[in-house]
A = this chain, B = another copy of it.
Amino acid sequence: MTNSPSDPAIDAQRFATLVHEGLVIPPSFRWRVLRLARGLAEVELEDDPAFVRPGGTISGPTLFTLADLTLWAAVLSVIGPQPLAVTAEMAIHFLRRPKPDALVARCEVLKAGRRLVHGDVRIVSRGEPERVVCHATGSYAVPDDGPAVRSSAP
């Protein structure tokens, strides 16, 4: 049994374990990986009253956390399990005020370099795939002692 070039370098179960061990997500954050392929991740976040801010919309930090988590999943799908990979920078645009509902974030890796892995994240409300509510682009820094990125990376 061999791996296909599009197999992710980490599976959803292993990723969830890394996140839970890492304690980086608030307990109220009920999320799950919908899809994980090499260079592509989709994560769903359940609705929660704790996320809602004045005006009945989901808070900026909640959207950032979801974007960062989804970017991390997509990055690890290329470089493999790397608890020490950290966000280098992110530019996040809040385009629409999402109503209180589940969110779906989708990240595509646009460049997997030896030092930085860069991706594009788009967040929509569940059931409204055409209306991007949040658009984030950013990079994770790959630790020096990390495994080399394989040549099949994007």
Seen from chain A, the residues whose Cβ lies within 8 Å of a Cβ on chain B are: 21-26, 28, 49-50, 52-55, 57, 59-61, 64-65, 68, 83-84, 86-97, 110-111, 113, 115-116, 118, 120, 122, 132, 135, 137, 139, 141
Contacts and interface: CB of A to CB of B under 8 A. Distances in A.
A64 B49 CA distance: 20
11 contacts: A23-B50, A23-B53, A26-B26, A26-B28, A54-B84, A55-B86, A89-B92, A90-B91, A92-B92, A95-B110, A120-B120
A139 B89 contact: yes
A93 B83 contact: no
A110 B135 contact: yes
Contact of A115 (B24, B64, B83, B115): B115
